[in-house]
Amino acid sequence: MLLLVLGKGKTGSLVAQVARERGHSVRVMDRENAGAAALTAPLLAHVDVVIDFTTPAAAVENMRACLALGARIVVGTTGWYDQLSDMKALAFKRGGGLLYGTNYSLSVQKFFRMTEELARLKGYSYSITETHHTSKLDAPSGTAITLKEIVLAANPAATVEITSHREGDASGLHTITAKSESDLIELKHESFGRRGFAEGAVRAAEWLGGKNGVWEFREIFDKV
């Protein structure tokens, strides 16, 4: 496959590295050069899947440009979900492919499923703590928001508080705590680096190749 990676930051660069290790051809564009003016039909003509790890504003521009041309894009950027309905509509209208997710780590996806089980307990209050690197723009993180959504979907009467921390170059620490008058249960996921996210994103792109439609990574992660 020929993959176009948008974003030359730490995660984007690692995505490109992992993709090459898995035998793919890779092009990389800096986020300042992306958007409608740069993502043209000739550029995307031979690209199988675009992978975006940029910023929320840039990601929206990149999605609009790619989906308008019927291209396929995996979006690892978070903080843009207020535009999700528009992006879905554009993908369906133009026959493009959109795969998005708050976290592409396969182990985090398992963490999500364990959280769903935990959330079925009645009589507990829930709290989420997340820690990321200081350059992460959105707070709370997309992963923390997803955890809260999972809890409330399984237990609408639950109370859920999120606390965010931004420290150094932390790759990602998420803890969810369920507390009652009788006991406390805690689930924790800590990433030691960005490689798990990068591997998941590349495998997501491999899955998306040749497909048209819209999916959240949580829906298909066990197929990649």
Residues marked active site are found at 132, 136
Answer whether 214's CB lies under 8 Å from 72's CB. no
Answer whether 64's CB lies under 8 Å from 90's CB. yes
Residue 86's contacts (CB-CB under 8 Å, 6 or more residues apart) are none
Residue 123 is classified by DSSP as: S
142-154 vs 106-119: helix crossing angle, rounded to 10:
30
Of 131, 121, 75, 123, the C-alpha closest to 101 is 75
Strand partners, 52: 6, 75
